[in-house]
Structure 1
């Protein structure tokens, strides 16, 4: 469970219900913006790292290339969001020789 810093909780406890609701909206917007920024940075990195032999036409729409490490081996996956869920589709090992 997340325990916010004491100085934040002390400040929030002094606020009215209306102000707390507005703060919640602002915090949700900030979280969305940070998540989009992170996803954009990840996509830009993936574009640079994408192997030339992976065909984007084979990917599900709006998917990005992701790598996962399982038992010391790395694998490529297409990854995308459907609503609140993140979906993945296996492609192949990062190092096909392994």
Structure 2
């Protein structure tokens, strides 16, 4: 984690404990919103890159298309979360011949 800019720290030092707690809540909400936006952008990129022959209807609910490199070869997998566990389902090699 990098240190916040000095001008932000100087401004924070002048605040009351109550205001600092409010700022912390706002900062947490802003960080979560930015993370959701980044995840949505990454998902949009994955959808755009998805091969046309991979039918989304065959995928588990909430799965995203991922690739894994194993022994120098790349393979497509559906990947999703079930509770705390990440599940994967093999689809086919990336270079299907």
Question: TM-score of the superposition, structure 2-length normalised?
Answer: 0.71
- Return the offset for 1:90: 4.9
Aligned length: 96
Rounded Cα–Cα distance in structure 1 between residues aligned with 2:13 and 2:71: 46
Deviates more, 1:23-32 or 1:67-76: 67-76
* Structure with larger Rg: 2
Structure 2 stretches lacking a partner, 5+ long? none
- Matched-pair contact (CA < 8 Å) for 1:79–1:86: no
- Matched-pair contact (CA < 8 Å) for 1:77–1:88: no
SS in 2 for 1:62: coil
Residue equivalent to 1:35: 35
Runs of 4+ in 1 over 6 A off after TM superposition: none
RMSD: 2.6
Residue equivalent to 1:8: 8
In structure 2, the CA distance between the partners of 1:57 and 1:69, relative to structure 1 (3 Å rule), is same
Rounded Cα–Cα distance in structure 1 between residues aligned with 2:6 and 2:23: 17
Rounded Cα–Cα distance in structure 1 between residues aligned with 2:4 and 2:25: 17
In structure 2, the CA distance between the partners of 1:2 and 1:89, relative to structure 1 (3 Å rule), is same
Residue equivalent to 2:95: 95
The residue correspondences of 1:34-53 to structure 2 (distance < 5 A) are 34-53=34-53
- Matched-pair contact (CA < 8 Å) for 1:59–1:78: yes
Structure 1 stretches lacking a partner, 5+ long? none
Residue equivalent to 1:23: 23
Question: TM-score of the superposition, structure 1-length normalised?
Answer: 0.71
